[in-house]
Amino acid sequence: MNEYIKVHNDNWNFAYSNSGKIFVPFGTNYFDPETGWAPKLWIMFDKKRVQDHFQKMADIGVNTARIFLTAHSFQPKSDMISKEGIEKLDTMIDIAKSHGIKLILTGPDHWEGRPDYWGSDKYAGEPALSALEYFWHEVAGRYKDETAIFAWDLLNEPEVGWKSEAMTEKWRLWLKDKYGTDIAEIPEDRIDKGNKTLYDYQLFREFIAYEWTRRQVEAIRAVDPNHLVTVGFIQWSFPLLRAPWGDKANMPSRYAGFNPIKLADLLDFICIHFYPILGDPGEPELKVKNTHYLQAVVNYCYVNKPVVIEEYGWHGGGEMNGKYQPESYQSDWNTNVVKSTLELASGWLVWAYADTPTSTDLTKFGGLYNINGELKEWGKSFKSLAEEITKSKLNRRGDIKPADFDEIESLTGDVRNIYDQYLIDSGIK
């Protein structure tokens, strides 16, 4: 339909702007799986392949596709938008429109290269912030009347860093504004329960995230009154459990600093990403644990606005980590994500369109289609879910209230205990 998508007046569903017909975003994250890893969709743009991919998506009920824009192809210099990149985006929009698929376009990312103007800190550094304002002024302004665009997504999985020259300078200004002094050093990146400075620093990181978001939203609103705006929050924007791997595991810096609750006033709807990081969801007990974690994360994002699970997924139909998993392994978990959040979410976008043979993560076998373009078991389940879920208005459980957690610098522990506490704090039990 040749209409914009708006938030329904129930603040939970989406609807077409003129007809008022309900629109349930149910789709996928899209990139051309034949363009390497990370995908070089725009550098290696192939119109014929993209047309074929969008036809396949339409065939199984995809009504929304999320696509990454890149700094390399769209903003090679801080004060220049690439004509070639815009022409490719025009083509992409025309293809999407011809297949009745709405687009969530995600702000300039690093998949095709990191630009010099980002400097050492793209969240706190002034050159990077000014460049983003310019980007949105030009791009959002150009497409303000384009109804094929569902929403602007400022960035994929933003995370405020721990320390940089720009952060140090702004930390001192933040302290001076709050306490009248700027003598506190940036605290060490380690758990230290009860450390007031560490707690303040997490609040400061949230301030950096707020300012980063505010400036871009204002730049968009100044030129584009028609499209919704959101952010693709990473899983550990939910502050109760950090990723259990890597150098940052259980460190305060693992918390992204982008708190959906504190950014809600800037955004039209909330997007959260989720993967089953608490163990193999093919194991019954771990499936339950991951599902509880999923429900807690999604409900945390509820701020009287729609919540979209903008990334979720698993793998199947190939060997991962030395073990072959059938296609049913992927389909079972992905189906569970949708069904277990039917009254907690307003839309679902799976990762990803098709298996990507060069991927170094679950994307290798994480598609709706395999590398031969054949529909996988998950693709068939997706089609059935799309037919069922997108035909009517969604309901939200009335007995669930937004969670409110504050001690973000020190909370750790088993997710079952976290979820129990979440239920208690939410007034559910």
Distance CA 240, CA 254 (A): 11
Is the separation of the CB atoms in 314 and 368 below 8 Å? no
Per-residue pLDDT averaged across 161-174, rounded? 95
Beta bridge partners of 28: 65, 350
C-alpha distances (whole Å) from 158 to each of 240, 258, 322, 379 are 17, 7, 31, 29
Comparing CA positions, the residue from 347, 374, 346, 372 lying closest to residue 357 is 372
Q: Count CA atoms within 13 Å of residue 51 on its CB side.
A: 6
For residue 397, pLDDT beyond 90: no
Q: What is the pLDDT of residues 203-250, one digit of tens each?
A: 999 999 999 999 999 999 999 999 999 999 999 887 655 555 566 666
Q: Which residues contact 75 (CB under 8 A, 6 or more apart)?
A: 81, 82, 108, 115, 131, 134, 135
Q: Among 86-95, 236-245, 252-261, which is the least confidently predicted range?
A: 236-245
Question: Which domains does the chain carry?
Answer: 5-425 (3.20.20.80)
CA distance 114 to 125: 15
* Residue 123 CA: distances (Å) to CA of 119, 166, 236, 247: 10, 9, 17, 21
What are 106-158's pLDDT values in tens digits? 999 999 999 999 999 999 999 999 999 999 999 999 999 999 999 999 999 99
Q: Averaged over 96-110, what is the pLDDT?
A: 97
Contact 406, 240 (CB under 8 A): no
pTM of the model: 0.93
